[in-house]
Structure 1
Amino acid sequence: MTNLNFYEQLRAKLHAWAQSSDGKKSKWVEYLLILPDLFYLLAALALDPEIPAKHKAKLGLVIAYIISPLDLMPEALLGPVGYLDDLTLAAYAINQLVNSVDQKIILRHWKGDGDLLQVIRHIIEVADEMVGSGLWKRLSGLFNNP
């Protein structure tokens, strides 16, 4: 499966869920709808020649985590809310990249709605509530090492 196919499938799955009764009741639906655009951004940045190799390796790990059905909050068991860990990890990784490389490089790949920097900072602000503080510490700890 190519990254574009995964992006399209994830987008369709989350939009369909957002229209369901469960999706309409979820306090996280608006956040989860951002995940496909964050995934697209991660993939585009991983391919950008201006992004240093050390950052590309981290981006690759986040992409693999999102694609993997086996993670800390498995979608197969939890449904679309199982993507909350993927969402918080993606936001955290992008935030670290924003603090390390020219923001213009990152922003030129952003295809989502709204201000990317505001979006990721808000996700990080509510990450403890989204996934629980213990899980959030584990996820963010994956990227604290240089």
Structure 2
Amino acid sequence: MMILVTLFSVIGGCLVYKGATNGVKLVGYYFLQVQPAIFPHILSMVASNFRGTTRRSIASSAVFIVYCVANIAGPQLFRHEDAPKYTKAFLSWIICYCLTILFAVLIMLSYKYQNKRQAAKQQVKPEEDPNADLVEYVDPTFRYMY
């Protein structure tokens, strides 16, 4: 879902960046309005893939800090020298959205690989106490969600 939502943002950014008419740019702007839906997807991945309150809290806090830094840095790309087209700003958006898709694919592939490793571990009896509070990468029954 995160990749699909980000694809709308890439398309919108491209339409705003290279749109020939104001109507095309407006459609691109509307496509860009889907972008805030990416953040809840990231938060749900953190909630699903970290076990333990402290680990989940630290990971959620790190995501929130990066989100805040990006929201502070993003508007700085819109410089008055680039007005009215702001080509550097929209090109930066497109690049960041493409990187988001790349990282989402890499995370998905990594989680698939880890799930296969966990399934192989599950075949072998764990040496630890089954009642122990294991972290996600040690527990053979844990599966990553993507």
TM-score of the superposed pair, with normalisation by structure 1 = 0.35
Bigger Rg, which one: 2
TM-score by length of 2: 0.35
Greater relative contact order structure (CA < 8 Å, 6+ sep): 2
